[in-house]
Chains A and B, each alone.
Chain A
Amino acid sequence: MAVPKRKMSRSNTRSRRSQWKASAVHLVPCANRACKELKPQHVACPNCGQYSGRQVVEPA
């Protein structure tokens, strides 16, 4: 079985982990003119519950 020859230094570990990045979610204003809340694209609005002029879910 393959086994690491040396202990990985904290520096190397942290250099690797420095590349773990979160990206911002792409948000668009709700198409409902009375709402205009920012929401993820192609998703029923969590604020007003509408999608393309149709009530899909109950607003939270």
Chain B
Amino acid sequence: MPTPTKGPRLGGSPTHERLMLANLATSLFEHGKITTTEAKAKRVRPLAEKLITKAKRGDLHNRRQIQRVIRNKDVVHRLMAEIGPFYSDRNGGYLRITRTLPRKGDNAPMAVIELVSEKTVTAEAEAARKTKFAKDQPAEAPKSVETQEAEAPASADEAADSAEATEAPFGEGSHAPLEDGSQPEGFPIKGNASSKLYHVPGSSHYERTTAEVWFASEEAAEAAGFQLPPSQREAKDEESSSEDES
């Protein structure tokens, strides 16, 4: 059961209140924006939003439900044909009340109540991406990932002629990860495909790295565009320079 409205009716009697609210809602849908007292704006908002919800459903029964409140057929048509479809991607909150300065004369707090003309952020983002978000369409997201995965080895296939290419996604001396995560025979170096870093056995990050690709040697890794982690680069340079001196 809806909570009864506190305080006296607008206008004095229940019928008077119904008429005032119906007239306010009619004017609101006719003009899109009306200035009224804050009390009336707050009372007309739930009524008008329920009418928009009915307009969104858009069948004959809901049209008749709207016509019980709004007597002007032009406004009913505008509500069903323009306003309802416009809010198809917005779940409630169709109206906005902004307070303005009190009225001259009786100092009544005034407000502007208007139809929200902006699209929701989610709706705009979806329009820009031309896709639905994963939470809205759970079936589609895993599929696209699968297709991407299917495409990546396929393109690698085309790049290299040999049958071994599926096993070597980064050229000669590399090996795709095994399903159980263990090290392929003769490929001890782990590579992280997203950060483009490789880790030699015994280095600080080797144990915690999940290998996305394995390399046979450091040269093969560097040939594929992979680097040592920044913390280990200097040490290696010093080693190589000392080797040069000796």
Which chain B residue shows the least CB distance to A40? B101
Q: How many residues of A contact B (CB 8 A)?
A: 9
Looking at chain A's contact residues, the main secondary structure is loop
Q: Report whether B100 and A42 are in contact in the complex, using a CB–CB cutoff of 8 Å.
A: no
0/1 string, A45-60, CB within 8 A of B gives 1: 0100001001011000
A38 within 8 A of B: no
Count how many chain B residues have C-beta atoms less than 8 Å from C-beta atoms of the other chain. 7
Q: Is there a chain A Cβ closer than 8 Å to B40's Cβ?
A: no
B99 touches A42 (CB 8 A): yes
Q: How many Å lie between the Cα of A46 and that of B35 in the bound state?
A: 14
Chain B residue at minimal CB-CB distance from A60: B101
Query: Which residues in B have their C-beta under 8 angstroms from that of A40?
Result: 101
Q: Which residues of A contact B114 (CB under 8 A)?
A: 56
Q: Is the CB of B98 within 8 A of A51?
A: yes
| Interface membership of A44, Cβ < 8 A | yes
Q: How far is the CB of A20 from chain B (nearest CB, A)?
A: 17
Chain A, residue nearest B114 (CB): A56
With a CB–CB cut-off of 8 A, which chain B residues contact A35?
none
B197 at the interface (CB under 8 A from A): no
Instruction: Decide yes or no whether A43 CB sits under 8 A from chain B.
Output: yes
Taken residue by residue from 4 to 39, chain B's Cβ proximity to chain A (1 for < 8 Å, 0 otherwise) reads as: 000000000000000000000000000000010000
Instruction: Report if B156 contacts A (CB, 8 A).
Output: no
User: For residue B99, which residues in chain A have a CB less than 8 angstroms away from its CB?
Assistant: 42-44
B112 within 8 A of A: yes
Within 8 A of A (CB), among B94-120: 98-101, 112, 114
- Assess the B98–A56 pair: CB atoms within 8 A: yes
* A54 proximity list for chain B (CB < 8 A): 98
Q: How many angstroms between the C-alpha atoms of A40 and B100 in the bound complex?
A: 9
Distance, CA A56 to CA B114, complexed state (A): 9
Bound form: Cα–Cα A40–B109 in Å: 12
CA distance A51 to B101 in the complex (A): 12
- A-B contact list, 13 entries, CB within 8 Å: A40-B101, A42-B99, A43-B99, A43-B100, A44-B101, A46-B100, A54-B98, A56-B98, A56-B100, A56-B112, A56-B114, A57-B35, A57-B100
